[in-house]
Amino acid sequence: MTVDSSALASWAASHLGDGPLRVHGAPTAAGRSSDTVLFDVGAEQFVLRRPPPAESFPLFPRYDLGRQVTAMQLVATQTHVPVPRVRWFERDPAVLGAPFVVMDRIAGLPAPDQPPYVFGSWLTEATPEQRAEVEGGMIAVLAGIHAVSDVTDLELDAPGDTALRRHVEHWREYYDWVAAHAGTAFPLIEDAFQWLEQRWPSGHEAIRLSWGDARLANVLFREYRPVAVLDWEAAAPGPPELDVGWCLFFHQYFQRVAARYGYTGLPDFLEPARFVAAYESASGHLVRDLEWFLVYAELRQAITSIRVSGRAVHQGEREAPADPQDLIIDRDHLEEVIS
C-alpha cells in the first residue's frame, strides 16, 4: 500500500514543519504486520505506521494503533527504556486513507529474523563480549518495561478473572479467527491449549506491562546497545514471564532452524539459566513456571504461523500442503513438547 505523497506533504507541513518531503518507502527489514513508510521532512527523519489494508491478507483481525501509542507513552514517561518519540497519532482515516502514527526514526540495526540472525549477521560476527552486551541490553529492556504496572488502559477485551487468563483467551479467540479463515480446525493447536489448561500456573499476580513481541528483531542496536524498542501492537497487561518466555523461545526456535540446516548458530547466546538469573537481579521479579510460558510462546507463534503460511499460499509463494496441519511452522517440535 503506497502513501499519497501530496497528501502526506500537506499534512506534514501543518504538523511537522514545511521542509521538503522525501518518501523512502518501506524499511527493508520490516515485518508485514503493518504498513510502514519511511520519510523525511527537511533534515528530520520519521516513520509512519498504519493498519494494513484488508485486501493484503492481514495477520490479525484488528490493528489497534491506539494501544501501541499508549504502551509507548507509558514506557517513555515511566522508564528509561528507549522508545521512538511519537510525534502524532492521526485518528482521522480521511487524511491518508487510514489512521496512522508518526514517530521519530532512530538509526540502528535489529538482529534480523528474515533470515534469522543465527545464519550469519552482525551478531554472529560479534565477539563474545559484544554479544554479552547485547544480551545485557535485552535484559535491561525487559526489566525496564516490566517496571510499568499501571496498565488499565491496555486491558484485553477477553473473558477471564485474571490478566493471564484474559491473555490466553485473547489468543484462543485469535486461533478461532485463523482457523475459520483457513477453513479447518488444527488439532495440534487445540491439544496445546489443553496442555496449558491442565498445567495452569498459579501465583502470577505481579501484573506488569507486557511488551508482547520481545524479540531481538524488534530492538534497534547501536554499538551493541539498544537505542529503540519497536513493535508494540501486542502490548497488554500480564505477568513478566510472558515476555521472558517469548524472548527465550524465539532464540531457541532460531537455533533449531540453524541446526536443521547445518549451521552452528549461537548456542551460548540467551542461555536460559543465565538470562533468567540476570533478569531476576535486574527486575527484582522471581521467574516462575518458565516451561509453561515457553510452551505458551510456542503455541502463540504456531497460531501466527498458520496465518503467515496461509498468506504465502494465497500469494502463490508456496503450494498448499496436502495436510493443512503442515501450515504450522515447527510443527514437529510443538508436538514433541506437549506429548
Structure confidence by residue, pLDDT tens digits, 216-225: 999 999 999 9
| pLDDT the model gives residue 30 | 44
Pairing of strands 100-104, 44-50: antiparallel
* Whether residue 52 has pLDDT greater than 90: no
pTM higher than the cut 0.85: yes
**Among the options 35, 213, 243, 289, which is catalytic?**
213
Residue 237: other Cβ atoms inside 10 A: 23
* Whether residue 35 has pLDDT greater than 90: no
Active site residue 191: no
pLDDT, tens digit (0-9, with 9 covering 90-100), for 238-281: 999 999 999 999 999 999 999 999 999 999 999 999 999 999 99
Give the percent of the chain with pLDDT over 70: 97
Kindly list the structural domains of the chain, giving each domain's residue range(s) and its CATH number in brackets, ordered by start: 5-104 (3.30.200.20), 117-337 (3.90.1200.10)
